[in-house]
Structure 1
Amino acid sequence: MQPRTLDVQPVVDAWLAAYDTADTDVAHLLCDRHDADAVAFTFVEPDLTSRDVTYGELADRSRRLATVLAGRGVERGDRVPVLMGKRPELVTTLLAIWRLGAVHVPLFTAFATGAIQMRVEASRARLVVTEPSQRAKLDPIEGIEVLETGDAFDRLIDEAEPLASSVAIGGRGTMLQLFTSGTTGKPKGVPVPARALASFHCYLHYGLDVGEDDVFWNAADPGWAYGLYYGILAPLVAGRRNLLLNAGFTPESTVAVIEKFGVTNFTGAPTMYRALSKSGLVRNLRLRRASSAGEPLTPEVVDWAREALGAEVRDHYGQTELGMVINNHWHADVALPVKPGSMGQPMPGYTAGIVDGQIAIDTENSPLLWFTGYHEAPDKTAERFTPGNRWYLTADSGRLDDDGYFFFTARDDDVILAAGYRIGPFDVESVLITHPAVADVAVVGRPDPEGIRGEVVEAFVVLDAGTEAHDDLARELQQLVRDKYSKHAYPRTVHFVDTLPKTPSGKVQRYLLRKR
């Protein structure tokens, strides 16, 4: 049973021909080539007031902001971190960065100073762009200039001359640098070349089936790969409007936005669907398409969605290093019946298989594959490819059935999937170990007993000799993670233990902790 792909390859080839050239210009592809009067994004505030922003407005303001950034020394190849919520200034800033041939480094607004500083220093950034609500997090970081949105920011843009022309970086030039979740060491930099836009466009078209008449809403946060790749970049390159809600997820706000704006094509994390299913708020919603990414869907959510949303929720699989690559596709040219528990089949432009028990991508037969290695980390890069770079190894174990459907088995890198966020144990452990009472620590994910978040973070802590375990200390450790790393990543439970299970080489055996 194979998808109907007879007419698909020419489309994929056309995207590659357009986006992977020696003179690829990111700002032109994402903005300047589109109808200036067409709406690029609808920005929605918590009170459901909204503002449409056109390509013409984005083009003008990003050209002016590019002049401002150039005046502050930003040049081609420079890394520019942006710490900002889903507001018009975010997209304007990203386009301004790309006009200069510089590289955007996304910073999640739920990060505390420690996580931000690591990414700023690792990218050797000299300038960070932020908003007033996030400004204080940057104060402890030395050696950077901060550009903050607000009245002064707007005046700078209004008074600047538009940049005459943008820098072409070519299809292999880097436009983004994201960081992995840091599960087995420090988070690794993932350079994203401009040619990746072909893969992102492919997923929006074939995976999500976002059509010209759809009201599309990708509810993921652009501080992470899924929200950035498919909530900002893919809609821009395809010329499809996306909604951006400047607020965190709640079932109430999600239902209200879908109803008020007539959303027809929705995608979000499984935790969103679980929360919606338990809220009792969903009545008579009708979606044309519903998609999910981030972790496997549970059967009860799939069953609920068919009746409550009028569409089944289709599960999709990908990584920061890949984008989405194996999907239960929605587009009629490649759609197949969904098998329970399966994440589907490879997206056009990719060939996948199982290598040594891992889900793997065939590098020789995947023209849309864009990842070639981590930034300045050749040893870590070598771990993700077989000898000769024949296969990219995802480090996720899985299986492939006789009909060509892939099934996810386990996430080998121990990443914790909590409320749609990927949390690296190393990041949390690195904060907890700074407490003077902590001698050793390991962090794992456990299934959320409430069935909402997917997983919750749990910490196993070995205390220094002479230190007594007590509830106040556990709360102090939880607060430490909130303050120093991120509110979404604090351990819901802190276990005080005498020792941690380790291999002879000293590696923590987290699978044993998860069994406790």
Structure 2
Amino acid sequence: MSRAVAVLRAVADAPTHGARLADLMASTGLSKPTTHRLAATLVHEGLLAYDPATRLYTLGAFCLSLGRRAGTMPAETATEPDAASVPSLYQRPEYRGDAIPLAHLLCDRHLPGKRSHPAMIHESVSGQTSELSFGRLADYSSRFARVLATIGIRKGDCVAVMLPKGVELIIAALAIWRVGAVYMPLFSTYSASAVNARLESSGVKAIVANRVLVERARKYIKPSTPVFLVEGDHINRIEGRVTQFWSSIYEAEPLAESATYAADDPFIMTYSTKTVEPRYGLFTPVRALAAIEQYMRLGLDVRDEDVFWNMTDQGWEYGIFYGLVGPLLIGSSILFCDGPYDVSQGYRVLSKFRVTNLTAAPSQIKAWWRGDPTTASHQLALRVVTVGGEPLPRDIIAWVTQKLGVPLINQYGHREAGMIIGMKHDPHDPRSLSRVSVGQVAPGFSLVVLDDNGAEQGVGTEGILAIHVRRSPLFWFRAYRKDEAATKARFRFGSAYYIIGDTGHMDADGCVHYSGQASHAISMHKD
């Protein structure tokens, strides 16, 4: 706490235009990683503000509000601000209201300082590298947005995207958000029956795909269904109105104005990947961006100087939230790599691009560990590795922290909430390597333990783990689409608690301990 206060005071004492990270380090005597982490936390708490263009920290809205209050109140009556009168510290103003310019947040606002900066770096299986700058992304997505608008795609319409990682995927997604529509990615390993069931259930108005995935959607595609096919992919005759993706972009004028969303409007639509049937339909609202940004900056600790790589697939939530939306949101480059995960290919990408911040699914880290490419580990530039989805065995934790010599952050979450619990294993902190809990709850979330009647339990008592909704400003889930029974199961004790689906307890330090799965929990992660 004292270190955070020192950073806050350093900003308060700085010139009115703000302070750089180096200034804060000099004023506080703290290391760069510690100063950056504390400053990022204060930004998310509303106590500081940060301008990515100038890289300057200034006092945040909450501090300024307190200053105004102190200046207008007699000293003897000045008190802490009423919680009801102060906007939630976790609800960033750009993610609130009824006119949120999503395409601006994800791309256009970065253009003044990053027009030529890569929004995406693509590495093919053969080792060829290509880039898509923020400027070209803005142009291409604006043109494809015009194409979508011309065929009648409007706000709230669902557009399915069935593409491998590449430039077409990111252009299509941003174009969909420019017209106010809903982006619906489909997992690359879905069978034809799973693809068609999801298309039917969601009522998609258009499909953007390559040949392989269009072939799987034949049952759904009708003569009136618009299909945008990536050039070079030849398909047998289908009933839909087939348009060449890139040709349509080059022939269109950019869309002049992008649509806006309300905070509760959906912008992503997904289904559980664990069933063929389209179950647990999940609309992600725009206000979830606050939780996504927090996880990118605090959970994953993505910094301006990082080379960030999320290896997971873009067909499920962890890849969508933190491999597509998250990097665009904070102006970081997306690193895409073709094909299924391969240890040798993964190591090549890590070395070639000098990746400093890596996040992966447990299965990917296990495969990497089995391949053990540490004979040349000195060539790696890794600073931190994050894994989500399940507790990793001690030998894998030791391999990452000792052989690679970097911290391993093991984190857990749900499709319906994002990442909510994390544990850091740091080679420079021997105590952290022996911790047995799954970690502490992320800021913006409150976790409680309930008994079978829905009553909150004390420290050390086993019970049902649940999110306390009213004390969790970053929790955004409210209901499944067309699945009232599943929704009621999540809120079986009323709207105040979201049932995670696991049992466990919390210790005196606020750390969470799992003891077993109480129900068929819908994990965010797919191993």
TM-score range, shorter chain: 0.7 to 0.9
Aligned position for 1:312: 407
CA distance in 2, matches of 1:258, 1:291: 14
The structure-2 alpha-carbon separation of the partners of 1:328 and 1:119, relative to structure 1 and needing over 3 Å to count, comes to same
Partner of 2:420: 325
Normalised by the size of structure 2, how large is the TM-score? 0.74
Q: CA RMSD in A?
A: 2.6
Match of 1:163 among 230, 255, 261: 255
User: Is 1:128 the equivalent of 2:207?
Assistant: yes
SS of residue matched to 1:65: helix
Q: Distance in 1 between matches of 2:272 and 2:433?
A: 30
1: CA distance, partners of 2:506 / 2:277: 30
- Residue 416 of structure 1, CA deviation: 9.6
Q: Quick check: 1:182–1:188 contact (8 Å CA) kept in 2?
A: no
Shift of 1:209: 0.4
Change (3 A) 1:371 1:415: closer
Which amino acid in 2 is paired with 1:199?
A
Q: Quick check: 1:40–1:54 contact (8 Å CA) kept in 2? A: yes
Structure 1 counterpart of 2:487, which letter?
T
Q: Which residue of 2 aligns with 1:150?
A: 231
1:92-491 alignment runs, 5 A limit? 92-143=171-222, 144-150=225-231, 152-181=244-273, 187-283=279-375, 284=377, 285-328=380-423, 337=432, 340-356=435-451, 357-414=463-520, 422=526
Q: Secondary structure at the match of 2:196?
A: helix
Give the whole-Å Cα distance in 2 for the aligned partners of 1:233 and 1:304.
Answer: 31
Partner in structure 2 of residue 34 of structure 1:
110
The Cα of 1:329 is off from its aligned counterpart by 5.9
Aligned length: 417
CA shift, 1:85, in A, is 0.8
What is the Cα deviation at residue 142 of structure 1? Answer: 3.9
1:328 Cα offset (Å): 2.6
The residue aligned with 2:45 is 9
TM-score (norm 1): 0.76
Contact 2:95–2:286 (CA<8 Å) still a contact in 1? yes
Contact in 2 for aligned 1:264/1:288 (Cα 8 Å):
yes
Cα distance, 1:341–1:256 mapped onto 2, change above 3 Å: farther
Q: Contact 2:449/2:465 (CA < 8 Å) preserved in 1?
A: yes
The percentage of counterpart residues that share the same residue type is 32
Q: How has the CA–CA distance of structure 1 residues 366 and 376 changed in structure 2, closer, same or farther, with 3 Å as cutoff?
A: same
Tell me how far apart the structure 1 counterparts of residues 517 and 120 of structure 2 sit (CA, whole Å). 34
Residues 499-510 of structure 1: pairs in structure 2 closer than 5 A: none
Letter in 2 for 1:52: E
CA distance in 2, matches of 1:80, 1:185: 19
Counterpart of 1:80? 159
Aligned 8 A contact 1:178 1:191 in 2: yes
**Cα shift at 1:9:** 1.7
Moved more, 130-139 or 167-176: 130-139
Deviations 1:43-90 (A, max 9, x none): 111122211211111111001001111122211111111111101000
Contact 1:208/1:330, CA 8 A, preserved across alignment: no
CA distance in structure 1 between the partners assigned to 2:279 and 2:3 by the alignment:
37
| 1:338 shift after superposition | 6.0
Q: Point out where structure 2 has 5 or more consecutive residues left out of the alignment.
A: 5-37, 49-87, 233-243, 452-462
Instruction: Report 1 or 2 for greater relative contact order, CA contacts < 8 Å, sequence distance ≥ 6.
Output: 1
Cα pair distance change 1:339/1:215, threshold 3 Å: same
Do the aligned partners of 1:206 and 1:329 also contact (CA within 8 Å) in 2? Answer: no
- The question of whether the paired residues in 1 share the 8 Å contact of 2:268 and 2:285 is answered with yes
Gaps of 5+ in 1: 423-453, 455-516
Q: CA deviation at 1:402?
A: 1.9
Q: Which amino acid aligns with 1:245?
A: C
Contact 2:407–2:425 at 8 Å: present in 1 too? no
